[in-house]
Amino acid sequence: MATRKPQPAPDVPQHFSDGSDELARTWADAPGFWGWLTTVDHKRIGRRYICTGMVFFVLAGILALAMRTQLARPENGLMGPDRYNQLFSMHGTTMMFLFAVPIMEAVAVYVVPLMCGTRNIAFPRLNAFSYWVYLFGGVMIWIAFAMNVGPETGWFSYVPLANSDYSPGKRTDFWAQMITFTEVAALAVAVELVATILKTRAPGMTLARMPLFLWSMLITSFMVIFAMPSVMLASTFLITDRLVGTHFYNPADGGDALLWQHLFWFFGHPEVYIIFVPALGMISSIVETFSRRAVFAHTAMVLALVTTGFFAFGLWVHHMFATGLPALGNSFYTAASMVIAIPSAVQVFSWLATIGTGKPKFATPLLFVLGFFAIFVLGGLTGVMLASVPLDLQVHDTYFVVAHFHYVLIGGAVFPLFGAFYYWFPKFTGRRLSETAGKWNFWLFFIGFNVTFFPMHYLGLIGMPRRVYTYPVDMGWDLWNLIATIGAYLIAISALVFVVNVVRALRSGEPAGDNPWDAPSLEWATASPPPAYNFAAIPRVDSATPLWSDNDLPALSGLRSDRREILLTTATDADPQITWGLPKPSSWPLWSAIALTVLFIWSIFSPWGVVWGAIPLAVALTIWFWPSPDDRGLISEKSR
Amino acid sequence: MAARFQSQATRPRIAGSSGMGGRWIALSQSNARHDASLQHDAMGEVSEPAHCGNGGGAASERRPRLISLALAAVVLLAIARAAAAVEVAPSDGDWPMAARNYASTRYSELNEVTADNAHRLRVAFTFSLGVERGQEAAPIVAGGTMYLAAPFPNVLYALDLTQPGAPLKWSYRPNANRAAQGVACCDYVNRGAVLWKDKIIYNTLDGVTIALDTRTGKELWKTPLANIQIGETVTMAPLVVKGKVLVGNAGGEFGVRGWMAALDADDGHIVWKAFHTGPDKDVLIGPEFKPFYDSDKGSDLGIKSWPPEAWRTGGGTAWGWISYDPELNLIFYGTGNPGPWNAEQRPGDNKWTGGLFARNPDTGQARWFYQFSPHDLFDYDSINENVLLDLTINGAPRKVLARPERNGYLYLIDRASGEVLSADAFFPVNSENGIDLKSGRPNYNPDKHPQVGKTVRNICPTASGAKDWNPSAYSPDTGWLYIPRQNLCMDWQATEVNYIQGTPFVGADVNMFAGPGGYRGAFIAWDPVARKSVWEIHEDLPIWSGALATAGNLVFYGTMDGWLKALDAKDGSLKWQFQTGSGIIGQPIAYRGPDGHEYIAVLSGVGGWAGAIVVANLDARDKTAAKGMVNATADLKEKTRPGGTLYVFALPAS
Amino acid sequence: MIGALQTAARLHAAALADVQSALDPAADQAQAIDGIWHLMLWVCVPMYLLVMAALAFVVWRARRQRRERGDVATASEGSLYNGLGIWVVVVMLGLTVLTTASYLVDRKLIPAQDAQVKIRITAKQWWWQVEYLNDDPSQQFMTANELHLPLAQKTHVELRSDDVIHSFWVPNLSGKRDMIPGRVNQIELTPRRAGKYRGTCAEFCGLQHAKMSLLVYVDEEKNFASWRSAQLGAAPSPGSEVLEHGKRYFETTTCAMCHTINGTTAHSLAGPDLTHLASRSTIAAGALPLNAGSLAAWLSDPQRQKPGTNMPTIDIEPDDLNALVAYLLSLK
Amino acid sequence: MCLRFRHPDYRALLALLLASLALVGCERERREYSTQPLPETTPATIAVSSLRPGGAATFAADPRGSHYQRNAYDINQGERMFRWFNCNGCHGSGGGDIGPALMDAQWRYGGSIDQIVASIVQGRPDGMPAFGGKIPPQQIWQLAAYVRALSGNVPKDAAPSRSDTISNTPPLTRMPEQPPASEPARHP
């Protein structure tokens, strides 16, 4: 399809060119490697967050490919159970903890401040810290894996399988500590995003005018804040059980094996929505832009997001129907699991209505969204089936569930994510991805995905359990497994197309311009890629789709350009409140992250690690937070 | 007092003829007065021993008694007003068997040492047994000789009491198999020898019964009975009844099959052997068998109350005490816990473990059986002593058997029929909610029901029981039983256990600790007629020694930190104590020396299940060591050290 | 279309001898769940088709309109809101039907306490210990990795675990139920069709989770009774020199450390009960068929067949191996 | 956009980190499901006494010993068999019972892993049964490694923590190291 030349974006930046040199100096990082280490620019950090997340995605994908190869035929001797168990544990762990959640937050770290029309994320040093912690955690678990100390008990690490009786050595400790790393990182980002979205939106961007992507990230961040402590608690219990012999999960001494499952799934179920809700925001952005109309039923959509986030906390027991909890309680969770389908139904309807009543342009991002519909709706319907206790008892922990959650997670999150990449790539890099390659990417992915995962529904129904490293010959599973493996290679090829597309675009991609898609939201109101200070002047917003207004965007002035100042606005109406100075680049978030890493890894081996490791961490944090002369009077008078 | 002193019904005249002046009253009178005025009598009796035991008067009293002994073929232990010794003929100053008499009263009628003069007791002599292991044996005294059975390697010593300082007369060292130590559940103890005519007979740990010539220590015969390869050992004190040596095995923690054997005392050949699990013909259940309760009636219950084959490893050993009633011609003994401890591996009532057999000593045929712990849940071995008493219950004279059982209940059982007359808790029991006298079965507390994979907390009493093997004493003067009691509770986790021949077959992780009140031992006086305790003495440590009662209004017991204590039998006040240097888990006795004076003897030397932490140097950091007992006695190493010494006390010559 | 799908699945399932399939119910419980599965299909497939039709319509419409593209779209939204309302009501109705149906079926699965046959299954890494319970303890017996159920009788199964969490799942008979250390779970099975069914562990339980299956035979009452009485007996005593050799080897070497053969001195529960091994059709929790060849292979190198299994590799001489195999195969 | 990520300095750093970690190695985590019985034997001769006439020549320990007692999986397997084979029946959870405590520094027959293996294989005269021929060599090594762990004589990162039982000993990860009183001579 011929690429439509982007309509010239509203010529916003020109209004604010005054003082941009000084702004550039003020917001610039130190040159070179040192600047790379010390930066607090949300775009640089977001970018490396995204890159790291994608690296983990590819790594975990390679593991999946290895597993599918092992399962291509029955009684395959490619690998033994120990290797296979580590593979699927690493696949799940990496996908859930190192890819899905971080990448959603990473996109948000990049896009949210731009969409809010502000100059940087709130708490930028925390942002840098969060990235380092995430990186070190991810690198740690992968090095451990490479050294044969990878987790072997699945991404869910059920006790007692994960306690020291059945998982000797340090494998599970590394896993549990990796949780701690990623949770610290995720919580930090969540706090930043909440603060950014609530306090730094451009004047006039009331909650009612707030783009759905911001809404979805706001809800996601709150969910992170409520869900993650549960799993951190669980994994800390696990580590203390394994390291110092506490009895949290020991049924023989007052503990309970099911305590782990409750704590884990109280996080684990919202986790799915933590991955899924940002994707809903991305879809809304894409649908809006490519349908060239505001998303239908904005209020209903917001309510749908809020109810999704709320109900997500009331479903965790549907992962535990087979554990023999009281039947009446299970019925409640069935009902709750069913109810959560309603907000999804509302959203699907609204998007279809938006596309149907808009003037859609079927560019690659929108293709991925259409793919999302086809896949996610199926996944959602199998989700409804799983919500039913009796049916769940049959298909729980079978390939039916594998199919279901890949439909939900890949369909519901990865397809929109790819759409989002195609959508925001020009903003990130200033260059455009090839549409042709994009379509290849989409169709290979779409076909490959369905070929891989659709047969798994049937496999589950005819009795194939999950997490098996091999299966007998005469079960009737051979053909479907082989098909699934072929599909997996199709997905791999599609991923390769994506990588090639990205590399090619980076080298010789078509320059994108500020707003290649003629999108309505504020991130497109600045250069591609945006300058360090994002906006020379802060735009004032008067609608939900500000860039589609015929008028030029009015701009605010009054922020100092000789220091890193942003405008804080009120949480609901986005009325300007005060100006706020943001900290300068610093290496101390990095040192703090290193100190924290030392503490975490040390505490895998000795509880004294917590004690002695706290000292360098305290030192690093103290220096980080030591008030510098620059910071004095960070809060200035209410502007204008 | 006389009311409670009665001889056996069949021989009132003989009893009367024992020449003890006003002390011995014929049975017909005693029964009439007995229970109505028990307390009153007890008080009224005080003056009597004082009269008898005073200085030269005592000596003069003794002579006619000795004469009467020489005259009578049988001397009745009239004091016990119980089934008296018929064939063993101890003088009233001897101690021929561990329980002193067939009725197992552990009462000595000697009254030279009294509550008033006990504070003057001094060490007369001591003797080192050369083994620093648990000394559970009762010294055996007869004919001016004291016989001491030492723990493994089971050397038997004969001390000449007629010489000053009681020098060694002879000793006998069996060549016992060292390996037996590995299958002895709770320290390698020995509970004593038995005197039969001119033979002293005892068992070695590796399961050999040996008869020695009392004069020379020459081995007369020996009969191997136990097979240590399958975990059998023998620790019990044998009993000789009508020329038959009764020996039972130990090894309930090794999945052995319990048995009781009778050997001919003359040549050691096996006369009969009764198993405690399996088919009726093995158990010696025949037409004579008339159990009182329905649940014990039926054929081959020793197979049918077990899962297939489980009876072969079902325990039910007999390592405790045997009593004998010559009138009924029945022996009474308890059978140990079923194996393994984990009850889930042996559903069913697990006959004939955890119960009490009455057998004909001539043929071994069972007369009746009563099961204290059908489907035992907590290792409540039922091997404790059976004290044979004639009491008036509800106005009627009954021949009863008093049994302070491990489960914390004191049973009075009609020893002719096996009917349980009463069962009262002498310990704050929570594992069972009383005994249903109709069915004879305990009401197990469902809250304390163990299950594999679950830990049940705070079960009282422990596996070692409200009272373990260490026997109580009965004083006819007071009419009370003196029970050395433990005060322990436990946490219990049943686990599945593998039967591997010759290795322990237990299946429970246990952790014991002090029971209600925070103390770990108690010594109680129990009135079997009023069915309540009269007084209690609390001890910090569990009491693992036996009790002794004497006519001097005294009761003796030892503590695990080495004190031998003498209490006033009536009010429990401490009259005398002596630190022996090592914990006492033995059985104190009283005897009349060749010089005519009363002596108190006890073996000091900590050990046994409760003392294993000291003698085997167990590590108290492991709360489950020694099947949980280590946690209950974790401080014992600091309170006592191993030992193995005989202490003999007497009043100074003055 | 759904019907066709179902039929195809049925045919496919029927074509496979040993299959474990939720789509081929052979017991009341699986039948009830199969019912809810059908209901789900009848509700969800039309729903899906509806959404896909809407999507197709939207795309088709958009493609048509593309040439008439204006700038930013504006459309009347009133009717859309009505549509949204109707859609939500339709979805809610569907969900209500499903929730109610699910609840009703769930009630049916709750075990009543009146079963004729009571079984306790204890899962271990990586096999199943099976005990047939009875109020009369001498009528109890133990076996492993194979269940026999009487046709058309309620069987109550008590589920436990000895180590980690496992899950008992025989899809043709019922849904799964976890076996959790420290807890006791229950499930009830009322088989309605005689035959052989396969079950498997459905909760990840470590290295050999994949090879932890069990066979369930649903027998006519008469066959069940005779199987049962055969299981109650001790193992036959060896009738020849070779068998005697095998028995001696079993009792005196490594085997007896972990296994039970009633009638011998071997009574250990760390490994499966082998008293009537030859009456079963598989070994190693369904990993291998039972025949002389596979048994010999398993005994001489279990780690190759099932890496990580708790059965150790032992150094066994060929003579001993032959005798042992012969002896084990004689344990009918 | 990822160019910065591939900064050469960073790559070098990562490579250095990986290399150093790889050097440390992870013998602790190796898992061998032995399929070949033959290389597994137990030491043929082992001294129980630490007295050697003619002076204390030092002999090399069986190299397998150090492998087993550093390997978390083997120690863990040993822990499981310690229960299965009723070792706990006599030795408690390490505190002892019929048999001596295994969690202290006192060893009647030597506390090195070879000597423990020998004690298991040969039995000892005061009641320790001989398990040679009853337990395969590999499992005996594993048991011995666990027995070493009971007294804190294995690396802490290979030791198991508590097990899923009623609480007994302090977790072995926290067990202070109590080396045997004397390191007796070993036969070559």
B401-410 pLDDT, tens digit each: 999 999 999 9
What beta strand segments (E) does C184-225 contain? 185-189, 195-201, 213-219
Q: What pLDDT, in 10s, does the model give residues D28-87?
A: 777 777 655 445 677 767 788 777 777 665 566 788 888 898 999 999 999 999 999 999
Active site residue B253: yes
pLDDT > 50? residue A159: yes
Looking at residue B502, its pLDDT comes to 92
- Name the nearest CA neighbour of A70 among A58, A82, A84: A84
Q: What pLDDT, in 10s, does the model give residues C131-183?
A: 999 999 999 999 999 999 999 999 999 999 999 999 999 999 999 999 999 89
* Cα distance between residue B563 and residue B577, in whole Å: 6
Percentage above 90 pLDDT, chain B:
83
pLDDT > 90? residue B75: no
Looking at residue B57, its pLDDT comes to 39
Whether residue A336 lies within 8 A of chain C, CB to CB, comes out as: no
- Name the nearest CA neighbour of B253 among B505, B508, B626: B505
pLDDT > 60? residue A524: yes
* Cα distance between residue C90 and residue A152, in whole Å: 44
* Confidence label for B28 from pLDDT (cuts 50, 70 and 90): very low
Examine the domain organization and report whether B157 and B259 are in the same domain.
yes
pLDDT > 80? residue B154: yes
CB contact under 8 A, A52 and D163: no
Whether residue C90 lies within 8 A of chain D, CB to CB, comes out as: no
Whether residue D162 lies within 8 A of chain B, CB to CB, comes out as: no
Looking at residue C1, its pLDDT comes to 52
pLDDT > 60? residue D187: no
Output the domain CATH number for residue B234: 2.140.10.10
- From residue A386, alpha-carbon distances to C36, C40, C329 in Å are 11, 10, 44
Active site residue B631: no
Q: Give the ipTM of the model, two decimals please.
A: 0.90
* Cα distance between residue B601 and residue B598, in whole Å: 10
Q: Are A515 and A547 in contact (CB under 8 A)?
A: yes
Whether residue A473 lies within 8 A of chain C, CB to CB, comes out as: no
CB contact under 8 A, C98 and A251: no
Q: What pLDDT, in 10s, does the model give residues C30-52?
A: 999 999 999 999 999 999 999 99
What 3 state SS string does B450-462 have? CCCCCEEEEECCC
Q: Which CATH superfamily is domain D29-174 in?
A: Cytochrome c-like domain (1.10.760.10)
Residue A167 lies in a domain: yes
Looking at residue A556, its pLDDT comes to 76
Q: Are B628 and B463 in contact (CB under 8 A)?
A: yes
Looking at B55, B75, B108, the residue that finishes a domain is: B108
- From residue B375, alpha-carbon distances to A36, B306, B351, B442 in Å are 74, 9, 8, 10
Q: What pLDDT, in 10s, does the model give residues C256-270?
A: 999 999 999 999 999
For A272, the token pair is 């799915």
* Cα distance between residue B468 and residue B248, in whole Å: 17
CB contact under 8 A, C258 and D135: no
DSSP label of B185: B
Q: Which of D35, D80, D164 sits opposite C303 (nearest CB)?
A: D35
- Candidates B111, B117, B337, B631; catalytic one: B337
Cβ-Cβ contacts under 8 Å between A and B: the total is 10
- Name the nearest CA neighbour of B615 among B237, B193, B186: B186
Q: What pLDDT, in 10s, does the model give residues B547-600?
A: 999 999 999 999 999 999 999 999 999 999 999 999 999 999 999 999 999 999
Looking at residue A309, its pLDDT comes to 93
pLDDT > 60? residue A302: yes
Looking at residue A1, its pLDDT comes to 30
* Cα distance between residue C167 and residue B385, in whole Å: 50
For B303, the token pair is 């197979």
What 3 state SS string does C269-332 have? CCCCECCCHHHCCEECCCCEECCHHHHHHHHHCHHHHCCCCCCCCCCCCHHHHHHHHHHHHCCC
Q: What pLDDT, in 10s, does the model give residues A49-108?
A: 999 999 999 999 999 999 999 999 999 989 999 999 999 999 999 999 999 999 999 999
- Name the nearest CA neighbour of A160 among B579, B614, B170, C205: C205
CB contact under 8 A, A352 and C55: yes
Residue B29 lies in a domain: yes
Looking at residue C200, its pLDDT comes to 94
Looking at B82, B108, B134, the residue that finishes a domain is: B108
Mean pLDDT (whole number) for A340-363: 91
Examine the domain organization and report whether B488 and B551 are in the same domain.
yes
Looking at residue A630, its pLDDT comes to 62
C-alpha C88 chain-centroid distance: 39
* Cα distance between residue D2 and residue A342, in whole Å: 40
> Any idea which architecture C241-329 has in CATH?
Sandwich (2.60)
Mean pLDDT (whole number) for D150-172: 90
Which range scores top for mean pLDDT: A194-208, D51-65, D174-188?
A194-208
Looking at residue D26, its pLDDT comes to 63
Q: Are D140 and D129 in contact (CB under 8 A)?
A: no
- From residue B29, alpha-carbon distances to B1, B474, B475 in Å are 12, 21, 19
Q: What pLDDT, in 10s, does the model give residues B64-73?
A: 444 444 444 3
* Confidence label for B254 from pLDDT (cuts 50, 70 and 90): very high
Examine the domain organization and report whether B254 and B285 are in the same domain.
yes
* Cα distance between residue A321 and residue A185, in whole Å: 32
Q: How many separate domains does chain B show?
A: 2
Mean pLDDT (whole number) for A534-553: 85
pLDDT > 50? residue B48: no
Residue A39: domain span: 13-631
Chains within contact range of chain B (3+ C-beta pairs < 8 Å): A, C, D
- Helices within A152-250 (DSSP H only): 171-199, 212-244
Q: Are B397 and B390 in contact (CB under 8 A)?
A: yes
User: Comparing A132-146, A282-296, A551-565, which segment has the lowest mean pLDDT?
Assistant: A551-565
Mean pLDDT (whole number) for A571-577: 91
* Confidence label for A5 from pLDDT (cuts 50, 70 and 90): very low
C-alpha D176 chain-centroid distance: 15
Name the minimum distance, in Å, from the CA of D117 to any CA of chain A.
Answer: 22
Name the minimum distance, in Å, from the CA of C300 to any CA of chain A.
Answer: 19
Mean pLDDT (whole number) for A401-414: 95
Using DSSP's 3-state secondary structure scheme, residue B346 falls into coil
Biggest alpha carbon–alpha carbon distance for chain B:
68
Q: For an interface test with D, which of C268, C315, C320 has the most D Cβ atoms less than 10 Å from its Cβ?
A: C315
Residue A546 lies in a domain: yes
B436 vs B23, more confident:
B436
DSSP label of A30: P
Examine the domain organization and report whether B469 and B447 are in the same domain.
yes
Active site residue B491: no
* Confidence label for B454 from pLDDT (cuts 50, 70 and 90): confident
CB contact under 8 A, B307 and C140: yes
Q: What pLDDT, in 10s, does the model give residues C76-85?
A: 677 888 889 9
A490 vs A509, more confident:
A490
* Confidence label for B87 from pLDDT (cuts 50, 70 and 90): very low
Looking at residue A22, its pLDDT comes to 84
What 3 state SS string does A551-575 have? CCCCEECCCCCCCCEEEEECCCCCC
pLDDT > 70? residue A637: no
Chains within contact range of chain D (3+ C-beta pairs < 8 Å): A, B, C
Residue C238, CB-side half-sphere exposure with 13 Å CA sphere: 21
Looking at residue D181, its pLDDT comes to 72
Using DSSP's 3-state secondary structure scheme, residue C188 falls into strand
Looking at residue D39, its pLDDT comes to 58
Average pLDDT over chain A, rounded to an integer: 90
Looking at residue B69, its pLDDT comes to 44
Q: Are strands B548-550 and B107-108 parallel, antiparallel or unpaired?
A: parallel
* Confidence label for B52 from pLDDT (cuts 50, 70 and 90): very low
Residue B601 lies in a domain: yes
Examine the domain organization and report whether B361 and B342 are in the same domain.
yes
Looking at residue A504, its pLDDT comes to 94
User: Where do we find the tokens 């108690």?
Assistant: B522
Output the domain CATH number for residue A570: 1.20.210.10
CB contact under 8 A, B618 and D94: no
Which residues, at least 6 apart from B125, have a Cβ–Cβ distance to it below 8 Å? Answer: B165, B166, B648
Q: Which helix (H) or strand (E) holds B259?
A: strand B259-264
pLDDT > 70? residue A170: yes
Calculate ∠ Cα D61-D65-D70, nearest 5°.
130
Looking at residue B76, its pLDDT comes to 36
Chains within contact range of chain A (3+ C-beta pairs < 8 Å): B, C, D
* Confidence label for B180 from pLDDT (cuts 50, 70 and 90): very high
Examine the domain organization and report whether B126 and B171 are in the same domain.
yes
Q: Are A31 and A19 in contact (CB under 8 A)?
A: no
Q: Which of A48, A50, A147 sits opposite D26 (nearest CB)?
A: A147
Ranges of each domain in chain D:
29-174
To 10 degrees, what angle do helices A415-429 and A435-461 make? 160
Examine the domain organization and report whether B40 and B154 are in the same domain.
no
- Is the torsion defined by CA of A136, A139, A143, A148 positive or negative? positive
Mean pLDDT (whole number) for B175-197: 92
Looking at residue B90, its pLDDT comes to 52
Q: Are strands C146-150 and C213-219 parallel, antiparallel or unpaired?
A: parallel
* Cα distance between residue A205 and residue D100, in whole Å: 77
Using DSSP's 3-state secondary structure scheme, residue B489 falls into strand
pLDDT > 90? residue B63: no
Looking at B108, B137, B157, the residue that finishes a domain is: B108
Residue B157: domain span: 118-650
Looking at residue C2, its pLDDT comes to 57
pTM: 0.90
Name the minimum distance, in Å, from the CA of C17 to any CA of chain A.
Answer: 8
Mean pLDDT (whole number) for A307-314: 93
- Helices within chain C (DSSP H only): 2-15, 28-65, 78-109, 221-232, 241-252, 255-258, 292-300, 302-305, 318-329
* Confidence label for C67 from pLDDT (cuts 50, 70 and 90): low
Residue A89 lies in a domain: yes
CB contact under 8 A, C312 and D139: yes
Q: Are A590 and A623 in contact (CB under 8 A)?
A: no
Looking at residue B640, its pLDDT comes to 95
Give, rounded to a whole angstrom, the gap between the first and last alpha carbons of chain C. Answer: 49
Interface of D with A in 125-184 (CB under 8 A): 156-158, 160-167, 170-171, 173-174
D122 vs D18, more confident:
D122
What one-letter code names the amino acid at D47? A
Domain topology for C1-59+80-231: Immunoglobulin-like (2.60.40)
B46 vs A487, more confident:
A487
Residue B113 lies in a domain: no
A493 vs D60, more confident:
A493
pLDDT > 50? residue C14: yes
Which DSSP string do the residues of B549-617 spell out, in sequence order?
EETTTEEEEE-TTSEEEEEETTT--EEEEEE-SS---S--EEEE-TTS-EEEEEEE---HHHHHHHHTT
Examine the domain organization and report whether B240 and B349 are in the same domain.
yes
- Candidates B296, B379, B390, B405; catalytic one: B379
Q: Are A528 and A427 in contact (CB under 8 A)?
A: yes
Residue B87 lies in a domain: yes
C-alpha A231 chain-centroid distance: 17
Q: Are A386 and A318 in contact (CB under 8 A)?
A: yes
Q: What pLDDT, in 10s, does the model give residues A428-469?
A: 999 999 999 999 999 999 999 999 999 999 999 999 999 999
C-alpha B472 chain-centroid distance: 7
